[in-house]
Chain A
């Protein structure tokens, strides 16, 4: 910039940028391209890779396991998204008020966010233990005989969904809190003068003004939940009877259990295109989304 010309300028740029750039090319750039290329080849890491065109993508269409993984991923999202969003909004609304111990409560809700997925999954696996777990004991107190949860194909996914909601609640709550703090109190003051009820205020002020936050949370959570993996791997490994296999697990299985690098790559690109689609929708809608607040 100032005074730097020619070679010296070039050198300065190189020193600042190159260390990052080289690693970026090596560990991100090349792998992305390689993965794309691999998805059109058959390769078991031992023999030479052979080009097979779009065969993998065709095969995916008829792959029963892949279809069921896709279905379970959507099932997970359908359960997880509404619960985590409404739950987090509810807590954020409460914690946004000037209440005693607000800092403590906020901290408590955030603790699962800092805890690793593996730790959380193990704790909840134990909580969901059919015989000695706390959850079925709690249910028995109110006269309900709890299911076998992770051992029961019907209840395994709901258990994973509940665990995930519990872990991510604090994260989504913090984003909602930030959104709520952006709403000017004058709106509520005006509504108070008009004698609006708490529900009316929520319905007609809070919710519309949180539009952009809600949309944002939706997109982020959607993208993250397409990548659900750790909790499934620890809690059920996709079982029982394949009732919880998810998309990323299919990638993992084909790549590292079966050494089908090409097929695994093809699935990972399906995941990419889903996420890409979500991102496109986000970019399209973001412009149109009316943001009354800020």
Chain B
């Protein structure tokens, strides 16, 4: 089952995917352009992985890390499907990052890899934009590059974990204005989903609603105002976002 949070007729509603339509609780089926899409989860902590695909690590000139390179971001970053993301006027390289997002389903503490999937509610797609020229050396990547307002589109759907039997073999694709610019597979993650659940839960309790963005493969390129960026993960969804100029 694929569910969403939307705004429609003056209120926030839960909705479901139904043969390419958005079905409301009262049974009405709407076109996806008729509703306002919100992030499909109201998150607690938002974790993000850097350098979790060897090919992307090489692309931005880092050697692959020996343990997960993790950072956190605020809920200020999240916007839903078909929303807009501002590009600062002094950005020289602002790139998308197509990522599989894990949504935690129940409290997880000291969970072994073998049991990790029992703690996952579902999956969605995230686009973890970075303004690369804002990168600095303290608590890196610093907030100014990665925890920016409206710079982490997420959605459209939260897909039940049960519907994704093997999240470690999904195709990721990014298209900019219809042209494919990034392709990869979740099978190439350095630290896979069960490993990450074990890793985090070894030192903290993961809470229901926590979201883990699992990193991006090679193929991140600069985007400009007006560009439409679609990050898609096989079986999970296609997340649309449009770049706009950040007004002074």
To the question of whether A and B form a pair in one complex, the answer is no
Report which A residues bind B (CB closer than 8 A). Answer: none
Report which B residues bind A (CB closer than 8 A). Answer: none
